[in-house]
Structure 1
Amino acid sequence: MQIFEEIQSRGHEALTLLHHAPSGLKAALAVHSTVLGPAIAGVRLRPLDEENAIRGALALSESLTLKAALAGLNYGGGACVLLMPEAGVEDPHAREALFRALGRKVRALESQVVLTEDIGVTGSDIAFVAQETPATLGVNTDTSAVTGYGVYRGMKAAARYALGSESMRGVRVAILGVGAVGRTLAGHLHREGARLTVADHRLERAQELADDLDGITVVGANELLDVPCDILSPCGYGHSVRSTDVPRLQCRLIAGGEHHPLSRRGEAAVKEAGIMYMPDFAINAAGLIAAATSLTPEQAAERVYATVSRVASVAEQYGKAPHVVARRMAERRIDLIGSLGTGAALQGRSA
């Protein structure tokens, strides 16, 4: 991996490797942009090798820049991907040490970075970080639950344009990945009467959801992309839909909580196939909004609904793909507000 070439091509400001041997801390901290304010960095803890951790941090931080900008937040984008310590984190003291070590390492960067939870990390973990640095958000926010509800509201807004109605009653939705976000999304869709098919790489997790919610169909993770459906909702760890998978899809809309479910090539492929794709940074922002502001989960989700509606409306008006429109909207806000100088980002940070 050519790190400097990767950073330059994506426009990142910094990539920092963090290490603390006693706690087992090994992390890649990427800062994509601080034009609008300090970079909100989602913290992930996953069993990855070093190269994939770095690649993940770079990709996620770019997505966070677009998400914060499109959501109207005065923050930039960052990401912190922790490698799973060899000894694991089952021991509560070991987990505390890991996240307090992270907080202490971030002290020197607290004017540039704000940490919040992401996959594999909880509000309690961020509370440990907060013991060492004030550069945290979302300690008291159940971001996964808020994000799941926001995806549900955003899905309804997108369906109004893709399917002709925002009602989910009788709509066939295939959800790939039923962790915290996917499970929350499934609950809201089930209550409205959607016809759900779910899959997860941990089959028992999908089966547990089916045991809790009547009428759900469970299939293998490798089979879900072949399921006839109206909406495909990726809610996994990223790149769930490869460009070579697109001919298999039998949906009219892709809308889910997953970061980067498609590559740039995949985005082009679904556009060519006539499938509407609402990008992750537009539809999965509710948890970030709630963590960064004083808005309630319901208010944060309604902001997502309004954003998705605006993106879909402009895309329809000008005959452009929603993911292209959303990116241009985010980049335009960065350019316009960034041109006002640093004072713009310091005032009304929770806008």
Structure 2
Amino acid sequence: MLILEEMQSRGHEALTLLHHAPTGLRAALAIHSTVLGPAIAGVRLRDQDEELAVRGALALSESLTLKAALAGLNYGGGACVLMMPEAGVEDPHAREALFRALGRQVHPMASRVVLTEDIGVTPADIAFLAQETPSTLGMNTDTSSVTGYGVYRGIKAAARHALGSESMRGVRVAIVGVGAVGRSLAMHLHREGARLTISDERQDRAVALADELDNVNVAGVGEILDTPCDILSPCGYGHSIRSEDVPRLQCRLIAGGEHHPLTRKGEGAVKEAGIVYMPDYAINAAGLIAAATGSDATHAAERVYQTVNRIVAAAEQYGKAPHVVARRMAERRIDLIGSLGRA
């Protein structure tokens, strides 16, 4: 992987590797853009190697830039991907030390980076960070449940364009990944009467959710993409849909809470297949909105609903794919506000 070439192609400003041996801290911190303001960096904690952490940080930070821009927030995009320490983080003191070490190392960058929670990280972890740096968001926000509700509202707006109605009653939805966000989404869809098929890398988690809800089917992770459905909702860790998997898809709309479920090549493939794709940064922004503005779940999700409505209206008016329109909208706001210069 040619890191500088990758950064240049995506327009990144900085990539920093963080290390603190006593706590096991190993992390990649990427800053994609600070044009609109300091970069909001979602902090992820996963068991992965260095290359995956760097790739993930670069991809996530670009998504955060577009997400913040579309949501009308005065923040740029960043990402901080922590590699799981060899000793793990089951010991509460070890977990505290890990996140305080991260906060202390990020503190000198406080004017450029704001840390908030993402996969594997809790509001309590953000509170540890806040003991070492003032640049944090979300310690008092249940961002996963808010994000899940926002995805649900965004799916309804997208479905009106792709399926002709925003009602979810009887609509077949396949959810890939039922962690915190996917579970929240499933609960809202089930309540409205959607017909759900779910899968997860942890089969026991999918089975437990299906047992809790009525008439929910469970598919293996290798089978879910072959499921006939109206909506495919990726809510996993990223790149759930590979370009070569697109011919397998039997859906009309892709819309979910997962960051970058498709590569740029994959976006082109689903467009050619006649599948509507509502990108992650348009539809999974409610948690970020709530953390950044202090708004409640209803207000944050309504902002997502309105954003998706604007995207599909423009897509219909100009005859463009929604994911193309969404990126152009985000980039246009960045260009316009950026042209004002620094205050």
| 2:325 match | 325
Gaps of 5+ in 1: 344-351
| 1:309 match | 309
Q: Distance in 2 between matches of 1:216 and 1:283?
A: 24
Q: Distance in 1 between matches of 2:103 and 2:89?
A: 16
Runs of 4+ in structure 1 displaced over 6 angstroms? Answer: none
Q: Distance in 2 between matches of 1:269 and 1:3?
A: 26
Tell me how large the CA RMSD over aligned residues is.
Answer: 0.5
| 1:269 match | 269
3-state SS in 1 of match to 2:146: helix
Deviation per CA, 1:297-316: give whole Å up to 9, x if none.
11000000000011011111
What are the equivalent positions in structure 2 for 1:334-345 lying under 5 Å apart? Answer: 334-343=334-343
Amino acid at match of 2:292: A
3-state SS in 2 of match to 1:32: strand
Deviation of 1:198 (Å): 0.3
| 2:150 match | 150
Q: Distance in 2 between matches of 1:200 and 1:296?
A: 29
3-state SS in 2 of match to 1:78: strand
| 1:260 match | 260
Deviation of 1:207 (Å): 0.3
Q: Distance in 2 between matches of 1:18 and 1:140?
A: 26
Q: Distance in 1 between matches of 2:26 and 2:62?
A: 21
What are the equivalent positions in structure 2 for 1:1-351 lying under 5 Å apart? Answer: 1-343=1-343
Q: Distance in 1 between matches of 2:154 and 2:82?
A: 30
Q: Distance in 2 between matches of 1:107 and 1:280?
A: 29
3-state SS in 1 of match to 2:22: coil
Deviation per CA, 1:163-188: give whole Å up to 9, x if none.
00000000000000000000000000
3-state SS in 2 of match to 1:342: coil
- TM-score normalised by length of structure 1: 0.97
Amino acid at match of 1:24: G
Q: Distance in 1 between matches of 2:244 and 2:270?
A: 10
Q: Distance in 2 between matches of 1:5 and 1:337?
A: 27
Q: How many residues are paired up? A: 343
Q: Distance in 2 between matches of 1:248 and 1:55?
A: 26
Deviation per CA, 1:20-58: give whole Å up to 9, x if none.
111100000000000000000000000110011001000
Deviation per CA, 1:78-129: give whole Å up to 9, x if none.
0000010000000000000000000000110000000000000000001000
- TM-score normalised by length of structure 2: 0.99
Q: Distance in 2 between matches of 1:18 and 1:287?
A: 26
Gaps of 5+ in 2: none
3-state SS in 2 of match to 1:90: coil
Amino acid at match of 1:220: G
Deviation of 1:294 (Å): 2.3
